[in-house]
Amino acid sequence: MPGDISYPNDLGILNKARVKTEKIIDSLYEPLKDQLNKKPKTYRNRARKNYLKVAKKKRQTRKEIRKAIKKQLQYIKRNLGSIDALVKAGSSLGALSRTEYKSLLVVSEIYRQQEWMYNNKVHRIEHRIVNVSQAHIRPIVRGKAGVAVEFGAKISASVRDGYVFLDRISWDNFNESVDLKAQIEAYYNYTGFYPESVHVDKIYRSRANRSFCKEKGIRISGPPLGRPKANVSQELKKQAQEDERIRNNIEGKFGISKRRYSLSRVMAKLPHTSETAIAITFLVMNLSALLRQVFCLFYIYSTIKSFSASIHY
């Protein structure tokens, strides 16, 4: 479920982090402006010019980007030092708003991560922050043709009798195949018996999941492990086509949630509000499916009633 953020890059993230530190310095200096002789220097105009000098170029070399990142890191380091100096001079972090204090914590972590990646000449780090205002969003590598990396919440869902069940929401990448056992057990707790079959994607057909399904007497869709058979009976081919047709229901639900219900871009900013928006969307989808069933029964009842009334003996 992609979040509403621009595609991140290291230089842009550092520039936004630097701007946050400048605003924090302004807030901390305000109570001490009568005591201090001068305001701590931030060189904000020079720092912005250095950023735009590289950001506005259509093509940037690695050397130019690395040099620009180093400058932004130096500006942020200087600003963080000025913030510590203002606090020691008597200004309290309580003078900051809740948003500013959270931004200070985020910027400190961004500086640590970006400095480590710069010194080690790498572009990966655990729990990497890719957006200053939405620090909970993580990059999730999907390997799709259009977009290789997506930024937002990852969900695990299942479809039962036309209704979608949201089983898991996470801001970190995870292997969804480990959720299959819990999803089947949830079905058992809900209905009192295990399903006759489960229709899953290729990633769910692990040895552990196959063994679990075999133990519970559940047929799992897809070909068996090992080398494909040379001759496959017509009955097995039809069964495979039917399994894939049933499994397409969950793909269709994902498509509807993104195209019709605006989950192609989650506009909420906070993690809990984003999770609530995602959950409510699937609730509305289930209510819509229920209403279609009710209207269908009402239409059938009305048709039978009008047909019976038109018959005369």
| DSSP string of 109-175, one letter each residue | HHHHHHHHHHHHT-S--TT----SS-TT--EEE---SS-SEEEB-EEEEEEETTEEEEEEEESS---
**What is the per-residue pLDDT for 310?**
58
In angstroms, rounded to a whole number, what is the distance separating the alpha carbons of residues 256 and 234? 33
Comparing CA positions, the residue from 189, 224, 192 lying closest to residue 206 is: 224
pLDDT surpassing 80 at residue 301: no
pLDDT surpassing 60 at residue 182: yes
pLDDT surpassing 80 at residue 215: yes
Q: For the chain, give the mean pLDDT.
A: 89
Under the banding of pLDDT at 50, 70 and 90, the label for residue 26 is: very high
Question: What does the pLDDT look like over 268-296, one tens digit per residue?
Answer: 999 999 999 999 999 999 999 888 888 77
Burial class (CB in 10 A: 0-12, 13-18, 19+), 101: middle
Q: Is the Cβ–Cβ distance between 221 and 200 less than 8 Å?
A: yes
Q: Which structure tokens are listed for 312?
A: 């005369």
**What is the per-residue pLDDT for 36?**
83
Residue of 221 and 305 predicted with greater confidence: 221
pTM: 0.83
In angstroms, rounded to a whole number, what is the distance separating the alpha carbons of residues 106 and 166? 30
pLDDT surpassing 90 at residue 74: yes
Residue of 312 and 307 predicted with greater confidence: 307
In angstroms, rounded to a whole number, what is the distance separating the alpha carbons of residues 29 and 41? 11
pLDDT surpassing 70 at residue 186: yes
Percentage of the residues of the chain whose pLDDT score is greater than 70: 96
pLDDT surpassing 70 at residue 154: yes
**What is the per-residue pLDDT for 309?**
59
Residue of 298 and 313 predicted with greater confidence: 298
**What is the per-residue pLDDT for 308?**
62
CATH 3.30.420-classified regions of the chain: 153-298
Q: What is the mean pLDDT of residues 2-21?
A: 93
**What is the per-residue pLDDT for 227?**
82
User: 153-298 architecture in CATH?
Assistant: 2-Layer Sandwich (3.30)
**What is the per-residue pLDDT for 84?**
93
In angstroms, rounded to a whole number, what is the distance separating the alpha carbons of residues 183 and 62? 47
Inter-CA distances, 281 with 6, 134, 255, Å: 23, 21, 13
**What is the per-residue pLDDT for 279?**
94
Under the banding of pLDDT at 50, 70 and 90, the label for residue 82 is: very high
pLDDT surpassing 80 at residue 142: no
pLDDT surpassing 70 at residue 311: no
Q: What is the mean pLDDT of residues 247-259?
A: 90
